[in-house]
Chain A
Amino acid sequence: MLKISGIHKTFNPGTVNEVHALRGVDLTIEEGSFVVVLGMNGSGKSTLLNAVAGSFRVDEGSIKLDDRDVTKWPEHRRAAMIGRVFQNPFSGTAPDMSIAENFAMAASRGKTRGLGWALSKGLMDALRDRVATLKMGLEDRLDNAIGSLSGGQRQALTLLMASWIKPALLLLDEHTAALDPKSADQVIELSKEVIEKDGLTTLMVTHSMQQAVNLGDRIIMMHRGQIAHDFRGAEKKRLRAEDLLDCFEEIRRREQLDESAAAMLEQLYI
């Protein structure tokens, strides 16, 4: 279970580039829940994910994962409980190392890495079986450098790596945004399968309304560093892509109104 309470984050405080990216986000995600995060560019959805992953420390508030307060934990320590897939297919794998070596590192996620052989026979056998289920023909190429694969293949492997040891929380950061439509569909199917198989608690950021309505059991809509809408249960099931678009449109209209109102006030008083 993930419990986020009142987190704030300001980047570059006190400079012209100051951005108040998170403005008091409260969010509780139950064990086994699959939450999709939507939002426009700059709404803070990726920042929220990175705050949970520990890429930076939040200024205020607390983050609890499985009843442990991880607010002050560095990123690599939180990694023991968190599996991650990044937007960029190049981010989640070490390109010059083999597929097998990449998985060996995933198999020791969060554990002390000692002087045991990275590529044990047990791991290789399990890996061959698991990779074969992808039906990409990669099970015979486990010694090849992972950098020689396509973005879709790399993203599929990163997903398997992130869930090789069952994580308390799976973070997917627009992990299909950089892929062609066919690869994106494959990776989404695989994500569904992986999450359902182990009942993983998941937080997924996406741009795609279609993905948001098709996947998960809850939708969070972020706006200006806060949660603007929270659809869950029966309401989430009824939701269509058009409804989400309407939501966005409404937010945008409110925004424009604010801006023109501000301009009017400025003209009147300055």
Chain B
Amino acid sequence: MTLLLGAFTIGLILSLLAMGVYVSFRIFDVPDITTDGSITLGAAIAAVLLVNGYNPLVATAAAAVGGAVAGSLTGVLHTRFKINALLSGILVMTALYSVNLHVMGRSNIPLMQARTLTSYSEKAGQWLIGANEFNLFGWRVGAGDAAVLVMALLAAIIVGYALYLFFRTNMGTAMRATGNNAQMIRALGANVERNIILGLALSNGLVALSGALLAQYQGFADAQMGIGMVVWGLASVIIGEALVGGSSLGLTIIGTILGSVLFRLLVAIALRWGLNPNDLKLITALFVFAALVLPRLMRQMKARPRSAA
């Protein structure tokens, strides 16, 4: 049961990352690899501030701001210096690797002694329930674990709802149009370059926020923790789209959250069944490859009989 709770919690925390990837990949149509660096940046900033005794909320917010700055840098490289979007992301991601090591001062910061959002939620859970464990439908559940799960759920719901509301404002609508038809929204007076920079800032802010929460949950920040995370986010977005089917804004955001949780559950089950953890990234990449290619193959399969007849 603890394993299941853990998978849910990590899935929800990473759903913030998935929503960040959703913003860059689906709304702006930019495959933004900055993600790999900015999730570590978020974890690094949060960890350093927490170790130095800052309030966990301040540390988490600072992490999100740091991610937003990294994302806007990618946006500036892409729009002002006309560098290919993919390459802009790679440049910033590479630079961030050094930046993250500087921020942390070493390659790993443990947070076991620090007061974090996780430790606060655990205490609050134990105080509310009045015991270290409780009975949930016959399962013995740690009160602290349950409280952390609730915190992660709240974070995912609040961020997802805020994102939904934002993309229905005048500013958010123009940002969606930027990815959908830049020529059109430029002719309607929007500064496309500025919108892309803002969008990548928003995306990487969410990713860094996710990194800060992840570091606090797993109890450490590590310079290597970002590797392959953009593909993880893509997998969540794609699973989410398959789950909800629709293409409306609200549905896809809900789908992204569900996709992230489901993907984490699948991974947890696979690991439990004896999957070598070293193969995890390979399988994730293969999965995203299949998810990107299959829809086209299916369309071709459907189209073929008609053209033959």
Write the residues of chain A forming the contact surface with B, with a CB cutoff of 8 angstroms. 53, 74-77, 79-80, 82, 84, 86, 90-97, 101-102, 104-106, 108-111, 113-119, 145, 161
Nearest Cβ distance between residue B1 and chain A, in whole angstroms? 42
Q: Are B184 and A76 in contact (CB under 8 A)?
A: no
Task: For the complex, give the distance between the alpha carbons of A84 and B188 in Å.
Answer: 8
Which B residues touch A53, using CB under 8 A? 187
Q: Report B's interface with A, CB cutoff 8 A.
A: 166, 168-174, 176-177, 180-181, 183-192, 247
> Given contacts A94-B176, A94-B181, A97-B180, are A109 and B170 in contact (CB under 8 A)?
no
Which among B170, B181, B183, B247 is the interface contact of A113 at CB below 8 angstroms? B170
- Given A114-B171, A119-B168, check contact A105 B186 (CB 8 Å): no
Task: Say whether A117 contacts B168, CB under 8 Å.
Answer: yes
Measured CB to CB, the nearest residue on chain A to B178 is: A94
Which B residues lie within 8 Å of A106 (CB)? 188
- Residue of B183, B186, B189, B192 with most chain A CB atoms under a 10 A cut-off: B189
Q: Which of B168, B183, B184 has the most CB of A within 10 A?
A: B184
A94→B177 contact, CB < 8 A: yes
* Contact B170 A79, beta carbon cutoff 8 Å: no
Inter-chain contact B184/A113, CB cutoff 8 Å: no
A-B contact count (CB 8 A): 90
Please pick, from A77, A86, A93, A104, the residue contacting B189 in the complex, using a CB distance under 8 A: A77
Residues of A within 8 Å of B187, CB to CB, are 53, 75, 79, 82, 84, 86, 92
Secondary structure type dominating chain B contacts: helix
- A111 to B166 CA separation, bound complex (whole angstroms): 18
B100 shortest CB reach to chain A, Å: 33
Determine how close the nearest CB of chain B comes to the CB of A153; give it in whole angstroms: 16
CA–CA, A97 and B185, complex, Å:
12
Bound complex: CA A118 to CA B165 (Å): 10
Please report the C-alpha to C-alpha distance between residue A53 and residue B188 in the assembled complex, in whole angstroms: 11
B177 touches A105 (CB 8 A): yes
Bound-complex Cα distance A108 to B175 (A):
13
Given A79-B188, A91-B184, A113-B190, check contact A97 B177 (CB 8 Å).
yes
Residues of A within 8 A of B176 (CB): 94, 97, 101
Would you call B171 and A113 a contact (CB within 8 A)? yes
26 contacts between A and B (CB under 8 A): A74-B191, A75-B186, A76-B191, A77-B189, A79-B187, A79-B189, A84-B187, A91-B181, A93-B184, A94-B177, A94-B180, A94-B185, A97-B176, A101-B177, A105-B170, A108-B189, A109-B188, A110-B189, A111-B189, A115-B170, A115-B171, A116-B170, A117-B170, A118-B169, A118-B172, A119-B168
Do A105 and B174 touch (CB < 8 A)? yes
In Å, the complex CA distance between A111 and B170 comes to: 10
A124 to chain B, nearest CB (A): 13
A95 to B29: give the CA distance in the assembly, Å: 14
Cβ contacts under 8 Å, B183 to chain A:
86, 91
- A171 CB → nearest B CB, Å: 9
In the bound complex, residues from chain A placing their C-beta under 8 Å from that of B173 are 97, 101, 104-105, 113, 118
User: How far, in whole Å, are A94 and B187 apart by their CA atoms in the complex?
Assistant: 12
Interface residue from B168, B169, B172, B186 paired with A76 (Cβ < 8 Å): B186
Specify which chain B residues have a CB less than 8 angstroms from the CB of A77 in the assembled complex: 189
The CA-CA distance from A104 to B173 in the complex, in Å, is 8
Chain A nearest CB: distance from B173 CB in Å?
Answer: 4
The answer to whether A105 and B180 touch (CB under 8 A), given A113-B174, A119-B168, is no
List chain B residues, Cβ under 8 A from A109.
188-189
Chain A min CB distance to B207 (Å): 22
